[in-house]
Amino acid sequence: MSTETPAVRVTDLTVAYGELPVLWDIDMDVPAGKLMAIMGPNGAGKTTLIKAILGLVPPAAGRVEIHGGLYRDQRHLVGYVPQRGSVDWDFPTTVLDVVMMGRYGALGWFKRPGKRERDQALTALDKVGMADFRARQISQLSGGQQQRVFLARALVQDAQVYFMDEPFQGVDARTELAIVDLLKELRTLGRTVIVVHHDLQTVRDYFDWITLLNVRRIAGGPVDEVFTSENLKLAYGGRVEFLQRQAPCDPPPDAPDLGSYPGRIRP
C-alpha cells in the first residue's frame, strides 16, 4: 500500500483561527477505495479538516494532495457535500436545479447547463429515490430529503474522492441506511468517501477506515485496528461508554438513550 498513491495525503496541516489552533500538525493518508469516518468530540476540528483540505479555510501550514497532485489541480476529482444547515433552503430554486449545480464545476465559467446535465441530474435523483420531487421547491423537503438531494448533487460531480460533512445529521433511520448503501456502492466503484461521522455505534457497520481527531490526529487506519477503547479514550477523553465487542443491535441494558450519540459518551 505504501507504494500506491493515496487518494488523500495531508501533511503537517495546521489551521488556526487567529491565535487559536483548531488543527495541529495533521498527517493523514487515506488509501483509494476506502470508506472513511472522521470522528472526534465537538470542537475537534472535523469540519475544519475537510474545509482546509478543500481550500475553504486557509491553512497556517501544511500540504494537501489528492491522488498525488495539489488540490487546485485535482479539483475535478473531488466531490463535496457540505452540512445541510450551511445553505438557505428558502432559496428560489428546485430540486433538479440544485442537483445540476454539481455539474457547474465541470461546465466551467459562463457555460449553461443543458440537456446532458439535466439527464445526469435526473439519473442521480432516481438513484437517491427523489426523482418524483424534481420540480419541488427545496423548502418543501424534509431533512432526510434535503440530504438525499445533496447526495444526488455529489453523485453528478462524478468524483473520485468525496468529502461529506455529517450526511446523517437529522435524517431518519431509513434514509441513513439508504445513504450508507450508496456510499458502499461508491466504494465498490473504487471511489474514496470521507465522512464526518458522530455515531460510534455504527462505525463498524458503515466504515472500513477511520481517523480519530481531537485538534491533533489521535489515530488512523483500518477500523479493525484503530477503533479501540484506548484510542476512543484518547480522542474523546474520560470514559467512553462503548464496548467494542458490543453489537449495535445488542445495546447494554444500562444505556437508555441509544437513539442518539450523546447517550453513549459520558465525559
Q: Which is nearer to other proteins, 79 or 227 (CB)?
A: 79
Candidates 11, 14, 93, 169; binder of other proteins (CB under 8 A) is 93
Segment lying near other proteins (by CB under 8 A), choices 109-117, 171-179, 198-206, 216-224:
109-117
Closest among 87, 94, 97, 137 to 117, alpha carbons compared:
97
Asked if residues 7 and 161 have their Cβ atoms less than 8 Å apart, the reply is yes
Q: Is 3 in the site for other proteins (CB under 8 A)?
A: no
Take residue 7 and report the three cell numbers written for it: 487518494
Q: Which is nearer to other proteins, 171 or 203 (CB)?
A: 171
Q: How far is it, in rounded angstroms, from Cα 56 to Cα 50?
A: 8
Q: Is 51 in the site for other proteins (CB under 8 A)?
A: yes
Query: Burial, 256: exposed, middle or buried (Cβ in 10 Å; 0-12, 13-18, 19+)?
Result: exposed
Asked if residues 92 and 114 have their Cβ atoms less than 8 Å apart, the reply is no
Q: How far is it, in rounded angstroms, from Cα 59 to Cα 165?
A: 19
Q: Is 109 in the site for other proteins (CB under 8 A)?
A: yes
Q: Which is nearer to other proteins, 72 or 245 (CB)?
A: 72
Q: How far is it, in rounded angstroms, from Cα 38 to Cα 200?
A: 11
Q: Is 169 in the site for other proteins (CB under 8 A)?
A: no
Report the interhelical angle of 143-156 vs 115-127 (nearest 10°): 130
* Count of residues interacting with other proteins (CB under 8 A): 29
Candidates 78, 128, 196, 215; binder of other proteins (CB under 8 A) is 78
Candidates 11, 14, 94, 123; binder of other proteins (CB under 8 A) is 94
Segment lying near other proteins (by CB under 8 A), choices 21-29, 38-46, 58-66, 103-111:
103-111
Binding site for other proteins (CB under 8 A): 51, 54-56, 72, 75, 78, 80, 82, 86-88, 91-94, 98, 101-102, 104-105, 107, 109-113, 137, 153
